[in-house]
Amino acid sequence: MSELFNAITLRDITIRNRLGVSPMCMYSSEDGRATDWHLVHLGARAVGGWGLIMAEATAVTPEGRISPHDAGLWHDDQIAPLERITHFIKNCGGTPGIQLAHAGRKASTARLFSVPHPGKALSPSEGGWMVVAPSPLPFDKQSPIPHELSIPEIKTILAAFAAAAVRALNAGYELLEIHAAHGYLINEFLSPLTNHRADDYGGSFTNRIRMLLETIASVRHVWPQRLPLAVRLSCVDWVEGGWTLEDSVALARQLKTAGVDLVDCSSGAVVPHASIPVGPGFQVPFAQTIRREAGIPTAAVGMITEANQAAEIIASGKADLVLMGRQALRDPYFPIHAAATLGCKKAIAFPPQYARA
């Protein structure tokens, strides 16, 4: 049987196979609360046989949302809709995961699919708000100048991550991911392109990774030791003078010591002018390098669309998990179809309700 369908255990959680659904914003929440859309969207992937089903970037504060329609876990009344989803996923044999995030200077935008330019900031009357960042550098010419966070304000955000982690636990999640990629707040602290601070949170590599390490410490303090913690990284900025793969390896070694169990290896999006050589599996080498050199499990992402492609990534030891985004949108039942393609039909339990098909 293909190793793609072998289970993997992280701490006390066993994920039924190596295929996962990447966290993808749906821009369909109501005041941060999940809706029936999220239940059907994520539930369909659980029925389709995915091992790890990740909820989208979920803001730890209202101001940390990308748009007014983003998911959130800053209030207790946002727990119940998520608990309904995790209950369904687990009943289908899947592992529910959630990504906690703060959008930083890329917050306060219009919903992605409702405006021609997603980087355009909203006015307060439309739901917009002041954006924050490590330094007062706008994302692009259309974006507002962010407020530079003070150290007390940083501490408040650290506490918000911890509080959201407790709510995620109460909602039934079994894997937690901290979003430190794609140009959002923690990524902005990591990259020298966006962090021009002169205090303990800027300048040297050690100072620039401080925000992430303190976030991990605050979350790990409340997130049970039996449950795995992941971090999504933009492993390179794709811009000269920016964050490098060598930086990611050095950071991953510290993440392992800090109690992180998985590095989700993406890239880019911290600045708008990066030149990215997009192609099938273009980010897989990041997962392979970090796995080999830092000795920590990794997830590979980025234009992975075929069963044989995913199987080769796992079989060759390039990553421990394969997370899919757009392919998971196109085919909720990809694991079932992949099992058939690879001659492993018995690897995925077909839902009994669908057995007649």
- Determine the longest span between alpha carbons in the chain, in angstroms: 65
Asked whether the beta carbons of 70 and 57 are under 8 A apart, the reply is yes
27 is catalytic: no
Alpha carbon separation from 157 to 77, 180, 186, 304 (Å, rounded):
20, 14, 11, 34
- Kindly name the residue from 173, 184, 201, 333 that is annotated as catalytic: 184
Alpha carbon separation from 61 to 149, 151, 160, 179 (Å, rounded):
14, 17, 7, 14
- Provide the 3-class DSSP secondary structure of residue 175: strand
Q: What residues contact 44, with CB distance under 8 A and at least 6 apart? A: 332
Distance CA(182)–CA(190), nearest Å, equals 11
DSSP codes of every residue in 191-247: -TTT----STTSSSHHHHTHHHHHHHHHHHHHS-TTS-EEEEEE---SSTTS--HHH
Q: What angle do CA 298, 299, 301 make, to 5 degrees?
A: 140
- Provide the 3-class DSSP secondary structure of residue 97: strand
The structure tokens 């006015």 sit at: 123
Distance CA(122)–CA(130), nearest Å, equals 10
Residue 103 — φ and ψ, nearest 5°?
A: -80, -10
Distance CA(207)–CA(214), nearest Å, equals 11
Number of H helices, E strands in the chain: 11, 13
What are the catalytic residues? Answer: 184
